[in-house]
Amino acid sequence: MTEETVTLYRPVGTKELELIEASGWKAFPPRLPEQPIFYPVTNEGYARQIARDWNVRYNDDRKGYVTRFEVRKAIADGYERKIVGGREHEELWVPAEALDAFNDAIVGRIEVIAEYSEAI
């Protein structure tokens, strides 16, 4: 019997994407000291909005990416879901100290499904 999973999304910049690639597309990098929460989002539209409207504007290289990945549902259900704007702005709040366990619950590979860059 296959364990049930949920699909989550994570908007990232180039630096974070390079660290994901270095993991073999299997894990997200540790949080920085000023980042106490890792927050994947629960829907693709919200992830695209962040990558397009925030990452492109504020990352040094003016690029943003959307990743998609599967996590064991039993693990994902253990973290708080937060609505941070409209109802489509739902995030899963994973404490930084729990990120290793969260990464261990990723099933398959993290994949890039969208890329945005500043229009020239």
The confidence band for 58, taking pLDDT boundaries of 50, 70 and 90, is confident
Structure tokens that stand for 1 in this block: 């019997």
SS3 content of the chain, % helix, strand, coil (to 5): 30, 35, 35
What pairing do the DSSP bridges indicate for beta strands 63-72 and 5-12?
antiparallel
For residue 43, pLDDT over 80 is answered with yes
pLDDT of residue 28: 98
For residue 27, pLDDT over 80 is answered with yes
Q: Report how many domains make up the chain.
A: 1
Q: How many other C-beta atoms can be found within 10 angstroms of the C-beta atom of residue 20? A: 23
38: containing domain: 5-117
In the chain, % of residues over pLDDT 70: 98
pLDDT of residue 120: 57
Average pLDDT over the chain, rounded to an integer: 94
Task: Using alpha carbons, select from 114, 117, 120 the residue that is nearest to residue 44.
Answer: 114
- Residue 64 CA to its chain's centroid (Å): 12
The confidence band for 1, taking pLDDT boundaries of 50, 70 and 90, is low
C-alpha span between 17 and 28 (Å, rounded): 9
In the chain, % of residues over pLDDT 90: 83
For residue 119, pLDDT over 80 is answered with no
- The pLDDT tens digits for 9-26 are 999 999 999 999 999 999
